Amino acid sequence: MDKKTIVAFFLIAIILMVMPYYYEFLGLTPSNSKTIDENKTIDGAYLHEKQNSQRFLDNDSTSYNSLNTESKEFVVFLDSPLYTAGISSQGGGSIVSFLLKEYIVNDTSLVNLIDTDFNGDNLQLEFTDFNGNQITLSEFWSIENSYNNNDTISIDSPIKLSFSSSIEGNQIRKDLTFYPNSYTINVFVDLQKISDRYIAQERFTLNWNGGLTSTEPNKKDEASFFSANLSQGQEISKHGGKVGKKIASTGRTDWASIRSKYFSAAIIPITTSNYGVIEAKNNNLIKTSINKDVPFYKMGVGFSSSGPAEALIYLGPLQYDRIKELGVGLENTLSLGLAPIRFIGRAILFLLVSLQGFIPNYGFVLIIFSVLIKVLVYPLTKKSYQSMKEIQTIQPEVTKLREKFKNDPQKLNQATMNLYKEHGVNPLGGCLPMLLQMPLLFALFIVFRSTIELRGAPFIFWISDLSQPDALIPLPFNIPLYGDQISLLPLLMGVSMFVQQKMTTSQANPQQKIMTQFMSVFFVILFNQFPSGLNLYYTLFNILTILQQKYLVHPKGSTKATQIK
């Protein structure tokens, strides 16, 4: 690895370390520190009947005491090939559990996107009355289906749950429709009979309080992915988690969403929406295992109450193809890099998924992928190494010029450029090909670090999850930056970097050699907590680069620049 490459990777490492503190400086992380009980498990057996809800309520909202309510909660469970969901009569169909059958947590239990202590106040209706009070219809509604409490219904075809209540004899209605082999839920709301008597401005909001639950073992890494997004007129506003910040706007709303590292909840209007809101509030109930706040996100989409309103809810994994099929641009919330490199990230993800269609093990997919990428960038890499070799060939003459003109920098620069021109050497020839590869390197880093396709995907032996570090030896303590485990792949990557650097810096000065050795150790420390899939790719890429340098780039016996051209 040449000096310019080392500097480039060093800058990437510095950016990775500095960005969290930069975000915190900008106020993109909340300010109160709390703790989650990581041993808490939530299974599908959501508690039966209860007289009063203990869930978090928005302090700015109140329940409506004129609402005709049931005295007990009614819960039914819906079983689809993709999930098992518990639906409560509270709020006319709030989701109290949502277990994903294709995703597990802690190697044992299914991922549950709902925690009733945290985000159980979802799909609830809110409006402002004529006295200026914020009203949330969060009481127990009546269910009109002929199901018994705690029944489990199989979703073999679309299933509709209908809820109703009334305010002083004026009936209101809410329907939820579930579909087989889909993470979408259709929500139908009819508040027409109370619109002109109770709802100011004839507008209500379909809300989701609390965001999504934590599902990953590395809480610190996962926390960096939590965010809320609001799309209006195909322009997306992102909420980074600053407590107290509220993004609210009238106008046609495309969707509102909340995401974690691998999962998303979104409200997508079907009838015209005239309002959207996302915000983060202080959360006095839930704490995280790290010394940073997990924001209590709230999102809402507003509708006219003078007619029926309809929306589509997406609650499931951040799989590019699934959410792109929704046709509203929700795929833009995926972590595929900034706009200049997003198309590269999409191409990388497409290639990964396509290869997995032929090769069922993602570990072997990464091996094939690293070979394909190495072939793709080979012309640039070869050009870079050739330029470096040419510069090394005339390096003794450059050294003589430095000694001759050590007191005259201007003459030294002119003489050096004349020497380069005489030998046909481009001093930037080794740098430019590497710079052209940087967008690809950034895109690879982002995709491999965040794609759900690698979540829970095993490889071989000790590598049981390509989205997690390949921890070989647990440590009884945590080392800053390094972590609380010893991972093998970062060590192998460090060794491959050292060998690669030794091959390219054999004639380098002692200071450069020390720098390259330091970088090998530094990357071992930095990458110890990164996903094993990412480390596997970089290790294989380094090994292929070593082979390329040894057998393809360096012609035997080449000592002059003219022989390399």
- Read off the CATH number of the domain in which 279 is found: 2.70.98.90
Residue 378 pLDDT grade (very low, low, confident, very high; cuts 50, 70, 90): confident
Examine residue 534 and state whether it is found in any structural domain, yes or no: yes
Instruction: Check whether 556 has a pLDDT greater than 70.
Output: no
Q: What is the pLDDT of residues 331-355, one digit of tens each?
A: 999 988 777 788 888 999 999 999 9
Q: 32-36, 55-59, 186-190, 438-442 — which is least confidently predicted?
A: 32-36
Say how far apart CA 269 and CA 199 lie, in whole Å.
Answer: 20
Q: What is the DSSP-derived secondary structure letter of residue 44?
A: S
Residue 345 structure tokens: 């990230």
Residue 538 tokens read as 């970089």
**Angstrom distance (rounded) from CA 380 to CA 436:** 8
Q: Are residues 209 and 150 in the same domain?
A: yes
319, 336, 367 - which closes a domain: 319
310 in the same domain as 365: no
pLDDT of residue 10: 56
Structure tokens at 142: 């009546």
Please, are residues 108 and 68 in contact by the beta-carbon 8 Å criterion?
no
Q: Where are the beta strands (DSSP E) in 80-183?
A: 83-88, 94-105, 109-112, 122-128, 134-136, 142-143, 152-154, 159-167, 170-178
Residue at 40 is within a domain: no
pTM, entire model: 0.80
pLDDT exceeds cutoff 60 at 493: yes
Structure tokens at 263: 């999962």
Of 268, 301, 319, the position where a domain reaches its end is 319
384 and 447 both lie in a single domain: yes
Q: What percent of the chain has pLDDT over 90?
A: 39
How far apart are alpha carbons 541 and 83 in whole angstroms? 38
29-38, 281-290, 344-353: which is most confident: 344-353
Q: Do 405 and 313 lie in a common domain?
A: no
CA distance 400 to 505: 20
Comparison of pLDDT for 443 and 62, the residue scoring more: 443
User: Which residues, at least 6 apart from 18, have a Cβ–Cβ distance to it below 8 Å?
Assistant: none
Please state, in angstroms and as integers, the Cα–Cα distance from residue 239 to each residue in 29, 78, 169, 256, 477, following that order. 10, 32, 40, 11, 34
In a domain, 542, yes or no: yes
Residue 432: predicted pLDDT? 64
Give the pLDDT confidence score for residue 429 in this predicted structure. 63
Q: 445 and 363, same structural domain?
A: yes
Q: Does residue 331 sit within a domain?
A: no
**Is 543 part of a structural domain of the chain?**
yes
Strands 471-479 and 94-105: unpaired
Q: Are 157 and 219 in a shared domain? A: yes
Residues 154, 301 within the same domain: yes
Per-residue confidence at 292, pLDDT binned at 50, 70, 90? low
Token pair 């992102």: residue: 238
pLDDT of res. 24 = 40
User: Are both 259 and 374 inside the same structural domain?
Assistant: no
Residue 27 lies in a domain: no
- Domain final position from 274, 291, 319: 319
Mean pLDDT for the stretch of residues 501-505: 72
Are residues 235 and 297 both part of a single domain?
yes
Inside any domain, residue 47: no
Cross-strand bridge partners of residue 268 = 312
The whole-number pLDDT of residue 490 equals 93
Structurally, the chain folds into a number of domains equal to 2
Tell me, yes or no, whether 379 and 526 share the same domain: yes
Length in residues, the chain: 565
Contact between residue 298 and residue 199 where contact means Cβ atoms under 8 Å apart: no
**pLDDT bracket for residue 146 (50, 70, 90):** confident
Q: Which amino acid is at 452?
A: I
Are residues 163 and 265 both part of a single domain? Answer: yes
Q: Is residue 349 part of a domain?
A: no
pLDDT above 70 for 291: no
Q: How far apart are CA 437 and CA 477, in angstroms?
A: 38
Q: Both 301 and 373 in a single domain?
A: no
Domain that holds residue 483: 3-16+356-564
